[in-house]
Amino acid sequence: MDNRIIIQNSIDYIENNLKTEITAAELADTAGFSIFHYYRLFQSVIGVPVMQYIVYRKLIHAIYEIACGGKMTDVALTYGFDTYAGFYRAFKREFGCTPSAFLQKHHPKKPYKINLFQEEHIMLTHKKITEILTYWNLEHETISDIYYEGNGNKNENAYYVGNEYVIKFTTNIGKLKNHMELSKSIERIGLCSATPIKTVNDEEYIRDGELYFYVTRRILGHQMSSEDIYEGDYPEKSRFVGEIIGQLHLALKDIDAVVNEANLYESVTNWAIPIAQKILNLSDKECNDYIHTFGDIYDKLPKQIIHRDPNPGNIICNKNSWGFIDFELSECNLRIFDPCYAATAVLSESFTNSDASKLDKWLQIYHNIIHGYDSVVGLTNEERVAIPYVLLANQFTCIAWFSTMDKYKDIFESNVNMAKWLMQVWEKLKIQ
């Protein structure tokens, strides 16, 4: 039997019984193994000891309920901690700060059920990371978890190392090499980028089991967020986003790198639209009109290497410079994909049907991103026509992708609502 099936059954049981006492003995017995063998099996699949995993799941569920208004002491007791002091110590040990400090900085989302067959889910202990860091002589540096600004979700594939470094890991060597090659090329022309640091043996990465590890310097500065763009002088902020994406594209245009070539039109028409049509209840005429119009101009649209994921969280700014992180998804695609993706990323993280004023503001943000991009690269007439179609292509793709992922149920529903709204305001999306 696939070990993932055994462990999936375990983590499903854990998730359904977090408010009760769960022992390794009962999990091992249910799986049909000795405790010793079960311990090894669980850690080999998940990356951390089973009891540490159980505590972690209890903590993230508890902090979410506290964020929703639950009393700290009551929630702590509900999840099996004998006292609030015990919960407090466990939380600080796991997250590196107190529950109150965490809630001041983050807005936790409802934890999702992990599906080992839908995602790469590997948790690593700080002890294991320390062992890996010996390859860089960084084993004495403090290791700290990375949390996404705004939602409080933990980055499961990277850690801060001291104040100057980041260690990342992946099972996909292709994505790793993508990031390395592009980040080095971008740094050579004077832009900030998270370039790999060589090991003591002069290697850019190391392999441990199925995982590839690499270390980069940490780009210090402010990590942008969608909420940042909505606040204050949002026209200037959104235009800035468009401008720096344009400047990034000018740099990437001259880079000779081997990346995957994507055909957005074929992907959307052959895969995404058939799925999205049923979910959005679109007529054949609506789909055919979209396909024919987009298809007529697609081959005329400029293509080049793009970032592919320029959401605000991947933009780092400080007083003197700016930079992009995470080039793992970079590919050769329509250049207008990036500014369109940035605009929908802002909409995705901030979208609510009930907040009409915010939606109106987003339309201005969207146009300013596009105008900022245009001021740097100079859009063609065909690109101006195609931009609303690329916006919707991104939504169709997201709907099709997230519809199969239990982890992203909330994101799936958000993208469905986004697509419906974008089609309602179609005329306002056109670029003059």
Question: Torsion angle of alpha carbons 273, 276, 277, 278, nearest 10°?
Answer: 140
Structure tokens at 320: 């003197």
Quote the CA–CA distance of 290 and 300 in Å, as a whole number. 16
Amino acid 104: pLDDT: 84
Q: Would you call 299 helix, strand, or coil by DSSP?
A: coil
The identity of residue 109, as a single letter, is K
Closest CA to 243 of 377, 386, 390, 430: 377
**Beta strands 165-170; 315-317: pairing state:** unpaired
Tokens 């990031």 belong to 179
State the Cα angle at 429 between 426 and 430, rounded to 5°: 100
Of the candidates 366, 377, 375, the residue with the CA atom closest to the CA atom of residue 304: 377
The domains found in the chain, sorted by start residue, are 3-105 (1.10.10.60), 126-218 (3.30.200.20), 226-429 (3.90.1200.10)
- Amino acid residing at 242: G
Strand partners, 193: 324
Sign of CA dihedral 400, 406, 411, 417: positive
What's 150's DSSP letter?
Answer: B
Closest CA to 364 of 224, 245, 237, 248: 237
Q: Give the closest residue to 297 by CA, choosing from 260, 342, 265, 329.
A: 265
Walk along the chain (432 residues) and give the pLDDT tens digit of each residue. Answer: 678 889 999 999 999 999 999 999 999 999 999 999 999 899 888 878 899 999 999 999 999 999 999 999 999 999 999 999 999 999 988 887 899 988 887 777 788 888 877 665 566 777 788 999 999 999 999 888 787 654 456 677 889 999 899 999 988 888 788 778 888 877 776 777 788 899 999 999 999 877 899 999 888 777 788 888 888 899 999 999 999 999 999 988 877 777 889 999 999 999 999 999 999 999 999 999 999 999 999 999 999 999 999 988 888 887 767 878 888 888 999 999 999 999 999 998 766 545 677 888 999 999 999 999 999 999 999 999 999 999 999 999 999 999 988 777 888 988 999 999 999 999 999 998
Distance CA 412, CA 406 (A): 9
The three-point CA angle 229-195-309 to 5° equals 40
- The alpha helices in 79-172, defined as continuous H runs, are 84-95, 99-105, 126-133
Amino acid residing at 20? T
Give the residue from 345, 298, 335 showing the smallest Cα distance to 148: 345
How crowded is residue 126: how many other Cβ atoms within 10 Å of its Cβ?
Answer: 12
Contact assessment for residue 50 and residue 13, using Cβ atoms and an 8 Å cutoff? no
